[in-house]
Amino acid sequence: MATIYEVSELAKVSLATVSRVMNGNTRVSEKTRDRVLCAMKELDYRPNSIAQSLASNRSNCIGLLVSEIHGPFFGQMMSGVETELRAAGKHVIITTGHSEEDKEKDGIEFLISRNCDAIILHVEAVSDEYLVELSKGKTPIYLISRHVGELPDNCISLDNELGGFIATQSLIEKGHRNIAYLAGPQYKADAIARLQGHKRALSENNIAINEKLIFEAEFKEQGGIEGLRYFLQGKAAFSALVCANDEMASGAMTYAREHNLHMPKDLSVIGFDNVVFAPHLYPKLTTVDNPVNKMGSMAAKLVLKDVYQQEQHDIQQLFEPSLIMRDSVAEFS
């Protein structure tokens, strides 16, 4: 593999000049530039990115921590980050945190030790304080789908309250008034906000909040099953069910079918996130789209702008969810 030195010899210029034409920041005369370019071509020269990193104190790699590498939600997110960053010639190192505090911290350590120029995090278990502390370190951090008050410029988040509102509002517009709400764990910020949105929709439509129609469970299939079982055993009637995410919705739908509830005739169901399997469910799940892919690419743009000083327009830090209508919701009759 040819080195910059060989190129300089062939082009009869100094090392420095070759470096200059590569980086293009300093002016080089037309002729010498051409000579250098020719020499590079002839030798099929490729810069050694590691040597560049060492000399420039830049690794050109960005760390990305997600809860799980598999899983539909994170797939979209990673995809957004990678596409954007690769186009800029940067590379992405992906690792996992499994939503557990120790593992998240461990993953962050790993990424920092790899000399990443910045790290993009989707962390759930770690505290705000920890993140604030972390942000004082040498490696810049960016957060996806989480808002930390002290780090307003480093967060990309979703308006979960609005999402919760939209879901319930859409049901009300279809004539439903007795709406059960299956909430996510109330120590997670997004789960809290979604529930608030639901309550706001009820209030704005003058529907009293019935605590018996609210149940908290895990963001998983099993949570959906437990939730619907709870509501069905209760004495409060309801014609629609809002689930705080699609996995819960999937579980609830399975349970509903096993109990001979026809959807959407007997029960309308709406989810949240619009993960890949949502359109595969039966009936196809109406849900609130969570633009994770865009949020991922936006986090990447933020890094490009802050860390690499690349011009970026249209930086957007708060995203809005939108309704995806499919077949799991019917007009109330």
Partner DNA sequence: TTGTAGGCGTTATCAG
Partner DNA sequence: CTGATAACGCCTACAA
Residues in touch with DNA (CB under 7 A): 1, 3-5, 12-17, 19-20, 22-23, 25-29, 31-33, 45-48, 51-52, 54-57
Q: Spell 165-184 as b/e; 16+ CB within 10 A means b.
A: bbbbbbbbebebeebbbbbb
DSSP for 49-94 reads HHHHHHHHT---EEEEEES-SSSHHHHHHHHHHHHHHHHTT-EEEE
Distance CA 253, CA 282 (A): 8
Determine contact, residues 248/220, Cβ cutoff 8 Å. yes
Distance CA 176, CA 213 (A): 13
Nearer residue to DNA within complex by CB, 55 or 237: 55
The nearest distance, CB 82 to a copy of itself, in angstroms, is 6
Distance CA 263, CA 238 (A): 13
Q: Which helix (H) or strand (E) holds 204?
A: helix 189-204
233-to-84, 227, 238 alpha-carbon distances in Å? 49, 10, 12
Distance CA 109, CA 3 (A): 33
Kindly state whether residue 115 participates in binding a copy of itself, applying the rule CB under 8 A. Answer: yes
The nearest distance, CB 129 to a copy of itself, in angstroms, is 21
Binding partner selected for residue 59 from DNA, a copy of itself, none, CB under the kind-specific 5 to 8 Å limit? a copy of itself
Nearer residue to DNA within complex by CB, 16 or 325: 16
Among 32, 79, 312, 317, binds a copy of itself (CB under 8 A): 79
Determine contact, residues 295/145, Cβ cutoff 8 Å. yes
Number of residues lying near a copy of itself (CB under 8 A): 42
Kindly state whether residue 86 participates in binding a copy of itself, applying the rule CB under 8 A. Answer: yes
28 alpha carbon, distance to own chain's centre: 43
The nearest distance, CB 95 to a copy of itself, in angstroms, is 6
Residues within window 116-175 making contact with a copy of itself, judged by CB under 8 A: 138
Query: In the chain, what is the greatest distance between 2 CA atoms, to the nearest angstrom?
Result: 88
Kindly state whether residue 113 participates in binding a copy of itself, applying the rule CB under 8 A. Answer: yes
Nearer residue to a copy of itself within complex by CB, 212 or 262: 262
Kindly state whether residue 281 participates in binding a copy of itself, applying the rule CB under 8 A. Answer: yes
Nearer residue to DNA within complex by CB, 29 or 206: 29
- Tell how strand 179-183 and strand 240-243 pair up: parallel
Kindly state whether residue 250 participates in binding a copy of itself, applying the rule CB under 8 A. Answer: yes
The nearest distance, CB 49 to DNA, in angstroms, is 8
- Alpha-carbon torsion angle 240, 242, 246, 247, nearest 10: -90
Task: Give me the 291-310 binding string for a copy of itself, x by CB under 8 A, dash otherwise.
Answer: --x-----------------
Task: Give me the 48-67 binding string for a copy of itself, x by CB under 8 A, dash otherwise.
Answer: xxxx-xx----x-x------
The nearest distance, CB 110 to DNA, in angstroms, is 16
Nearer residue to DNA within complex by CB, 115 or 293: 115
Binding partner selected for residue 37 from DNA, a copy of itself, none, CB under the kind-specific 5 to 8 Å limit? none
Kindly state whether residue 105 participates in binding a copy of itself, applying the rule CB under 8 A. Answer: no
Distance CA 329, CA 118 (A): 43
Which residues are near a copy of itself by CB under 8 A?
1, 46, 48-51, 53-54, 59, 61, 68-72, 74-76, 78-79, 82-83, 86, 91-96, 110, 113-115, 138, 250, 257, 276-277, 280-282, 293
